[in-house]
Every structure is written in C-alpha cells, then in structure tokens.
Amino acid sequence: MAVDCCDTNEKHRSPLKIETLKKNQERAPEDVKRIIEWMRNKSGIRVHSGKIENGPLVDYFRGKIAVRTLLSPSFSKLKGVNHPTNEQEAIQLLKDMQQYMFYQRVDRLGEKKPRPLAILDLPFEMEGYYAWFYEASQRWLYIGAAILAIGTLAIIMFPVWPQQLREATSYLSMGALCILGAFVALAAIRPVIYGITRIILHPGIWILPQLFADVGILESFQPLYEWNYPKEKKEKRSKKKEETVSNKKDSKKANKPKNESSSIKEE
C-alpha cells in the first residue's frame, strides 16, 4: 500500500512556478486574504521547515491542524469572513482557498533536515501536508531592526551629545541602576524576613506577597505584607467575612420594617 501511495504521488508532482503563484494570489478575494493573513501570522498554527525540490525553504503544516484552527474560538472572532461550523465546512473552505496558491499540497520525500518536499497537484485532504507560499508579516522585524540601528547610532554618538542631555542621561541611568538594585535587594530580603517571622511569629509574614505573581505593576505591590496562612484557611476566613457581612445586611433589612411600624404606632 505504501508503494502504491508513493507511485500516485509521483504521478501528481508538479514544478514550482513563482509567476503562477503571484497571479493566483493577486486575484484572491479580500475575505480569503484576511483568512490567510490570520492563519499565517496570528493563528499560531504549528509548522515544520522543509525545502522544495530545486526551490526555496518553506514552512509546511498538516491539513487536520488547519481544520482545527478554523474551528477554534479565536478564528470565530475574525470579522468579514465566513466561519465554518463543522469539520466538513472547514475542509471545503480550505479546498476553495487552495486554488489561490497561498499554500500547496506537498509530499515529504525523506528524513533530512530541512525535509525535502515535492509539490503535488492534489486537492485538500486532512491527512495531507501543505507548504506555505505566503510570507509571514515582517513588520515587527523591521521595527526591531530600526530601533536597534537607532540605539546603536545614538550610543556611538554619545560623546557629541549636548552637555545637558548627557547629564540627564547619566542621572536616568543612575536612577535605573538604583531601582534595579533595590528590587534585587528586596527579592533577597523577603525570604530572610519570612524565615525569621516564621520562627518568632508563626506562620510567618511575607513582604509584598504579590511581587512575583502574574498580576499588574500596581497589584504586585499590594498588599504590603501578608500572613503565610494555607490556602484553605484563607478561603475559610474570606467565607466567614462574607457570611458576617451578609448577616449584618440581612439583620439591617429585617430591622427596618420593625422600626417603621413602631414609628407609625407612635404617630
């Protein structure tokens, strides 16, 4: 069966024609271009590296991964496109988009890296492999390169900066170093304080318990300290506080009608 499969793939092999790729991609509708742009740059679809026979290096993906990507909740948020609701609709959408040659079906030829690939003139199937012929966005690469070049040039030209600007830069750098040093010192002191307070005042106190938590900048400095109670005890305490607050509210509501009735009687 494997030999028959390889033979059929050899029959459907076709050469890479760059001009044909560009023409087909240019005539693609806007909604198709949006989907391709999302799949290539924002979907996080898993790709592998390969090399087309007598052609360029490419990224390629598996058909069933693309189907799952089009059925994901993140794709449903993309506006101005058709959203498939099941597997068959996703397969049909990928079949329809294949004619614009943003991706082409390929056959894997060996185990070398990058993996040798041959283009196949076959329709979309979930178990097939497909090479990208649409480059990912290079915008952030260009922005990063520009920032790096400007920063390097600025450092080289530091001796010819105006005196006031050089003084301001030195003050800022010293301030940044002081902040960094304070942060490192705080990170080193926290476990020491916790160890001492755990012995003297069990269960111990953590200074800035949210400092390394996955929270915002302001939230990482709140609260200033916290007792090292187990999570279960913390949950019980918070529940007790909620219960006491709710009981107080209920008692106030219950007392209101009594007070009103007594005032009416007095009148």
| pLDDT over 70 at 5, yes or no | no
- Full-prediction pTM beyond 0.75? no
pLDDT at 35: 95
Tokens for 248?
């107080």
Percent of the chain with pLDDT over 70: 78
Amino acid at 211: L
pLDDT at 92: 95
pLDDT at 105: 94
Amino acid at 147: I
pLDDT at 243: 62
Predicted confidence band at 261 (pLDDT cuts at 50, 70, 90)?
A: very low
C-alpha 158/C-alpha 171 separation (Å) is 15
C-alpha 175/C-alpha 95 separation (Å) is 59
DSSP three-state, residue 25: helix
**Mean pLDDT (whole number) for 8-25:** 75
| pLDDT over 60 at 249, yes or no | no
Give the model confidence (pLDDT) of 79-112 as tens digits.
999 999 999 999 999 999 999 999 999 999 888 8
| pLDDT over 70 at 181, yes or no | yes
Question: Residues 180-186: contacts with CB within 8 Å, 24+ apart?
Answer: 186/211
Strand partners, 245: none
Q: How far apart are the first and last CA of the chain?
A: 100
Percent of the chain with pLDDT over 90: 35
In the chain, the largest separation of any two C-alpha atoms, in whole Å, equals 103
Spatial neighbors of 53 by CB under 8 A, at least 6 apart, are 109, 116, 117, 118, 119
Tokens for 79?
């506006």
pLDDT at 19: 78
**Exposed / middle / buried, residue 144 (Cβ in 10 Å: 0-12, 13-18, 19+):** exposed
pLDDT at 231: 60
